[in-house]
Chains A and B, each alone.
Chain A
């Protein structure tokens, strides 16, 4: 147990992760359509400020500005030749901020989906996906990331590819999926499916869980789904600050710091060990979450009714677990 995240997990009941990267960078002037990762080279001060915002709000873990740092994503900005550099820089800036924090803070090297559809449904092969994730992982490792943090994944094939890339880079990792389609990921994975998936990996993550998706309530339902299966690996909850609303030509997330504070406590009581925010979660939200986690005594495992009452209703009646969908009566098929 030599990595920083394992040490923190061993010494504490819960850890707080960070909030939104995109939301914060847009507020700093990032233009929609530009690659945030380019700022690791062009505006290092702003990236330091992003990281510091999370650390000063009490985060124990923060994610690097490298979510779109695979060749597949950087290609859209003709920066596919800069994978190693941009990931290394993103992690180096993180290392700098974490080491100056005066307490243990984990630098988590963010790795988002390639955005491509994996074989056999789409064109991206397992080997090509592993290669892209591995290239990114090496850059993050070189820059001093403590752990790789794979997030917003929807396809089990892509999750497996990221696991293999982490293994190849010799790095511990955490991996979360986004459950945004009636309680499942876009590719149909339920919370229970994910627990099974994680259990089958030969380089298992240090922690697994859910991020982003449809708001805090849905994310909590997914967390309950994970912990109902009593997984051995710690669970991560990183939910959005409510649901985006379109008001007078602008978008804002409807989750207040108070709501996110309740969410954080409910997530802990549901059994999550690492709790953070995602889109719309600002340092203000994080401060409220940290205070609530520190000052609220542990409570009983929340029920779905309680979650709906405190955080708002769910986006769908069911989350797909425990269902036995009637298979279509088929005709004969060829063997």
Chain B
């Protein structure tokens, strides 16, 4: 991949516009150290942390997510990209808090009661974090109360539920029904995923969306958060 390229690129010598494009490429290639360096350079050049996050990192991860969706990239490459993104985020996080920048959103996620599978949920967590979301991972085998308590405690925007078993996927409806009964269903965006699920199932149980894979989960989360912000602005 990289060996055919002899020209060493010095990030700090790039014009800002080129640097951002280079960072998109470096994210695509999962180059962690380069992303850290790029983030620091942009900050030194006076960029707002929020702009670094959205224009350099999130925009780059969007390209990664699109290529994953289109079957050009696969999970391993996406995870490397997400790791690089997280390294950049680690620098930005304290600065974002200081500057009071808008949050991307917060998600609590867990595998439902009765289900001990977690790899799909872990992938979603890693990619959501890679896209700049805060993620609280509840682990496996979560009863209704675990979701509802964590969502309230964390002031989450999104509740994510995962199931890999056909015997456990109906439990998602139990959680959603409990949220409805407590009058809190509309406080959250509810996303569901897992190998045996489909859109029809997501609709049938009253979720906001079924997410086919981790990249779709990120895109869907971004869409819903944007809509929520628009509603708040309009309201």
Chain A residues at the B interface, C-beta cutoff of 8 Å: 22, 26, 31-33, 35, 68, 73, 76-77, 113, 115-117, 120-122, 155, 180-182, 184, 186-188, 244, 246, 249-253, 279, 320, 325-326, 328, 330-335
Query: Hey, what's the 0/1 contact readout for B1-38 against A, CB within 8 Å counting as 1?
Result: 11101111100000000000110011011010010000
Contact, CB under 8 Å: B74 / A76: no
Chain B nearest CB from A283 CB (Å) reads 19
Selected A-B contacts with CB under 8 Å, 15 pairs: A32-B115, A76-B118, A77-B116, A117-B123, A121-B83, A188-B75, A244-B166, A251-B166, A279-B166, A332-B5, A332-B9, A333-B2, A333-B29, A334-B9, A334-B34
**A35 vs B119: C-alpha distance when bound (angstroms):** 17
In this assembly, does B105 line the interface, its C-beta being within 8 Å of a C-beta of chain A? no
What is the CA–CA distance of A185 and B210 in the complex, to the nearest angstrom?
20
Residue of B nearest to A252 (CB): B166
CB < 8 Å A-B pair total: 110
Minimal Cβ-Cβ distance residue in B for A120: B80
B62 contacts chain A at the CB level, 8 A cutoff? no
Please report the C-alpha to C-alpha distance between residue A171 and residue B119 in the assembled complex, in whole angstroms: 28
In the complex, residue of chain A having the shortest beta-carbon distance to the beta carbon of B22: A331
Tell me the chain B residues, 54-88 only, with Cβ under 8 Å from chain A.
63, 67, 71-72, 74-77, 79-80, 83
Tell me if B116 and A68 are in contact (CB < 8 A).
Answer: yes
Q: Given A33-B141, A115-B117, do A331 and B170 touch, yes or no (CB 8 Å)?
A: no
- Could you tell me if A246 and B204 are in contact, using CB atoms closer than 8 angstroms? yes
Main secondary structure of the interface of A (DSSP, over half): loop
Q: Provided the pairs A22-B165, A115-B118, A333-B29 are in contact, do residues A325 and B72 lie with their beta carbons within 8 angstroms?
A: yes
Q: Which residues of B contact A77 (CB under 8 A)?
A: 116
With contacts A121-B79, A332-B9 taken as known, whether A244 is within 8 angstroms of B196 at the C-beta atoms is yes
Is B134 an interface position by the 8 A CB rule? no
On chain B, the residues within 8 Å of A182 by CB distance are 71
Note all chain A residues with C-beta closer than 8 A to B93.
none
Contact call B1/A251, Cβ cutoff below 8 A: no
Identify 4 new A-B residue pairs, CB closer than 8 A, beyond the known A33-B113, A186-B119, A188-B77.
A121-B75, A251-B166, A328-B28, A332-B9
**A35, B114: Cα distance in complex, Å:** 10
Q: A147 vs B67: C-alpha distance in the bound complex, in angstroms?
A: 40
Interface string of B102-122 (1 = CB under 8 A from A): 000000000001111111001
Contacts of B113 in A (CB 8 A): 32-33
The answer to whether A333 touches B166, judged by C-beta atoms less than 8 angstroms apart, is no
Residue B201 at the chain A interface, CB threshold 8 Å = yes
- Chain B residues lying within 8 Å of A335, measured Cβ to Cβ, are 2-3, 5-6, 8
Interface residues of B (CB under 8 A from A): 1-3, 5-9, 21-22, 25-26, 28-29, 31, 34, 63, 67, 71-72, 74-77, 79-80, 83, 113-119, 122-123, 140-141, 165-171, 173, 195-196, 200-201, 204, 213
Partner of B67, one of A116, A184, A244, A328: A328
> Are A121 and B71 also in contact (CB < 8 A) when A333-B5, A333-B29 are?
no
In-complex Cβ contact of B170 among A113, A249, A253, A320 (8 A):
A249
Q: A33-B115, A325-B71, A325-B72 are in contact. Are A117 and B8 (CB under 8 A)?
A: no
Q: What's the Cα separation between A251 and B169 when bound, in Å?
A: 9
> Please, which residues of chain A bring their CB within 8 A of the CB of B80?
120-121
Judging by beta carbons under 8 Å apart, are A117 and B79 in contact? yes
Pick the residue among A26, A31, A155, A251 that contacts B196 (CB under 8 A): A251
Contact B74 A187 (CB under 8 A): yes
Bound-complex Cα distance A113 to B204 (A): 31
Residues of chain A contacted by B165 (CB below 8 angstroms): 22, 32
Least CB distance from B71 to A in Å reads 6
Our pick among B79, B122, B167 for the contact of A32 (Cβ within 8 Å) is B167
Q: Which A-chain residue is minimally distant from B212 (CB atoms)?
A: A181
Which residue on chain B has the smallest CB distance to residue A320? Answer: B71
Instruction: Give CA–CA (A33, B140) in the complex, Å.
Output: 9
Neighbouring B residues of A250 by C-beta, 8 Å:
170
Q: Which 3 A-B pairs have the closest CB atoms?
A: A188-B74, A32-B114, A251-B166
Give every chain B residue within 8 A of A35 (Cβ-Cβ): 116
Q: Does A115 lie within 8 Å of B119, measured CB to CB?
A: yes
Closest to B80 in A: A121
Residues of A near B7 (CB, < 8 A) are 332
- Find chain B residues with CB under 8 A from A122 CB: 79, 122
